[in-house]
A and B are shown apart, each in its own frame.
Chain A
Amino acid sequence: MSIRAHFAELWHPEDVLDSLWGIFASPLTTALLLLSLAVLVCLGTLLPQRPATALADPAANGLWMTSLRERYHDRASWMLSLGLFDLERSLWFRGLLGLLGFSLVLGAVDWIWPRHAWPSNSPLETNLSGLPTRDESTTQFIERVKNALQQRRYRLLASRDGPLLYADRYALFPFLVYLGLLLVIAGAALSERTAWWEDGVDLRRGQVRALGHGTGLALRAEVLPVKLGRAQPEQVSLTFLRQERESARGTLHARAPAFHCGLLLFLSSTQPAVLVQAQDKAGRSLPLQMPETGASQFTELSLRFREEESSRYIVMLNLTPGNPSGRYFQQEGNEQYVLVPGRDLSLRVVYSPPPDGESQPVFQVEAFRNGESTSLLVQQFQGNASLEIADDRYTFQPHRDATIRFGQDYGMGLVLGGAALVLAGLFLGILRPVQRLWLAVRFADNQIGLACAAVGGASHEAQPWQHRLVQELAADLALQTSGAP
């Protein structure tokens, strides 16, 4: 039977709602919707999609649109209007997901309470007939048929009108797949609507940061020191504060979540840092600046460095008048600068990774008078250190800063739970394929007739379980087979 014939068979003009139910509940409809989604996903893979930065920033969006027009010329406008460059947020994608969800709901219901229409194109249509063994009515005979099937652990449903029986076994497994897919779609929708995340939240030692988003919580994070000589993943100690009072403590491990008050927290990275403070002879704090912060002055500065995973290079251009212009590569140092405007002084702090066998990195601080290229002072340190320059005291406290990610996503649980259900349903469905049987009882000419039609598996021929079941029913009910397939 072709697809067209299948849907034509489901359509009954006298009962439109029932026809629509049949069409949307049909597994072929679900298959077509899944294939349509696959086509959209394929388009999303092949065509450039609007990045998140372009969504948030109109200037970035304008640049991205310009690049699209340069690439696709006249076609860009109609492709944009069709939403092909923003498929995830397009009506096509959401509409298809909605239709798929609707089809899955009806399909799932159909697995539990199937429609009692006699299946067409059944590979097994058998008639059993025989003389009634004792004075029994149609109802009593149907009860015998039901008992015979229930003994074989079939689930039975009877039609409201007429002696039509439906029996199935292992129909729970395809139902699990449908239910799982529904949960995945629902979870993804919930995630999109309600989930929020904050990425790249830098927390230096002692800093308290409000989490916001109506939580009423603030967070303080401190990277726990790694034990000397041991290579182990880092841990961050978390302290949650509510109204400036400690409400909870926790530990955040690398690549494992922490859970608190409905929030999920992840450790993105840690990086070496140095806290720099300066006091004069009288103990008053000296103002400090960094080139990145411009004219803003601080009483203490936290200098962050990167882990020395790979060398970085900068291009140096030689534009000295009289010399031929040239370029060369110079390795960029892992260094930071602190300016002390009140003392006409600059401090350069350079990071070096820990030597072999040690866990603490090495820092080198050089002090320069502004305008001079030779340093006043050079000192290396690994732990806390202090420096005295012209009766001023500069202290350096190495530590590690944490970058965390936190947020809330209730849809995640639904999605993962749904995926687990789909997996379970598919796997169990292979071990135990679904078996479905329709039976119609007839009394005519003093003879009992039992017509059987079965589906189960995609085969034009009857499955072995169907033959076996018919023979067992014939033996139990003392009937003979006629019209065998």
Chain B
Amino acid sequence: MPALVTEPRLLIATILCTMGSAALSVLKPRWRQVEVGLSLLAVLCVAASIALSASRRAAWPLASKAEVIMATAAATVLWHIVDRRVREPRIGALAHVVAVGLLLWGVARWRGALPPPPLPGSSAALLAAAQQPWLLAARLALVLAWGALVEAGCLAAACLLLAHSDEPLALHESTLAVPKPAPLGLVFLTASLFLQGLGGAYTHGVYWSWSAVESWHLLVWLYYAATWCASSASTWVETRLRWLPIPGMLLTFLALRAVGA
């Protein structure tokens, strides 16, 4: 009897929930609680599909590129829910649309519809014992970082697109500054690099290697660290800093592309 809950079904549910949430945010802005509920459901569906895939492979989650991309989409939606300062519904719709795009990208990367055959019991136990939790912790922090940076970029891009709109933007006054997800994204990205270095140093004595993945992570970190420094300069006003998350978001997409399986 085929299983009721499978990864493809969960991902379809995620896409539908996210698109529904985006539509509600534009068409029915007063239905915010329903919108938040749909977004939370989408996040849970992504988490469930990743957990299901990991259990089939008898491995830690977030080990493959597809899972990292889909988890980033979920993190983007999660940060949008958490960042309650945003009141303008059209800004939220952009974040949801980008999240759907990331989900579709992750699904396209997911190789094969059938899960790989399960490993024999003794080999699976050895494999699970050999894999360290460092990778999971580093990838979790990385996914949260990417989600925060994408959400900050969406916020900045939406503000840019709507800046010349005839309708006034219903934004909280603190949104005028650098979007808060950007500094939080920098914190989580720093945590990911730190955990990656710590894990590498603990398992084989190498805390850094100039691989493509690590170089891209460092590139994004340097960009946002420069943004952080610029924001602490007393002479720079927020109008210059408000658009900086947009190129950062593009760098984040390029870094996602570089994440290996």
Contacts and interface: CB of A to CB of B under 8 A. Distances in A.
Interface residues of A, number: 60
B212 interface: yes
A266 B203 contact: yes
Contacts, number: 148
Interface in A2-54: 6, 9, 26-28, 30-32, 34-35, 37-38, 41-42, 44-45, 49
Nearest to B183: A430
Contact of B241 (A30, A197, A423, A458): A458
Nearest to B233: A27
Given A356-B120, A415-B207, A27 B230 contact: yes
A183 to B, nearest CB: 12
A426 interface: yes
B219 interface: yes
A197 B186 contact: no
B205 interface: yes
Nearest to A28: B233
Given A28-B230, A49-B210, A459-B176, A427 B205 contact: no
Contacts of A420: 194
B237 A45 contact: no
Among B176, B232, B233, chain A packs the most CB atoms within 10 A around the CB of B232
Nearest to A29: B229
B30 to A, nearest CB: 29
Nearest to A359: B122
B170 to A, nearest CB: 18
B205 A266 contact: yes
A416 interface: yes
A35 B222 contact: yes
B54 interface: no
B202 A430 contact: no
A231 interface: yes
B204 A28 contact: no
Among A41, A232, A268, chain B packs the most CB atoms within 10 A around the CB of A41
A390 interface: no
Contacts of B239: 460
Contact of B238 (A121, A264, A458): A458
A460 B223 CA distance: 23
B122 A31 contact: no
A45 B215 contact: yes
B33 interface: no
A426 B222 contact: no
A233 B127 CA distance: 9
B194 to A, nearest CB: 4
Interface string B205-233: 10110101001101100110111111111
A457 B241 CA distance: 11
A423 B236 contact: no
Given A38-B219, A459-B238, A257 B205 contact: yes
Nearest to A41: B219
A419 B208 CA distance: 12
A457 B232 CA distance: 7
A457 B207 contact: no
Contact of A458 (B202, B215, B222, B236): B236
A422 interface: yes
A119 interface: yes
A126 B256 CA distance: 47
A120 interface: yes
B161 interface: no
B223 A38 contact: yes
Interface string B146-180: 00000000000000000000000000010011101
B130 interface: yes
Q: Top 10 A-B pairs ranked by shortest CB distance?
A: A38-B222, A31-B229, A455-B234, A34-B226, A458-B231, A31-B226, A231-B125, A27-B233, A419-B194, A255-B203
9 contacts: A27-B233, A31-B230, A41-B218, A121-B237, A122-B234, A177-B228, A266-B205, A405-B204, A459-B237
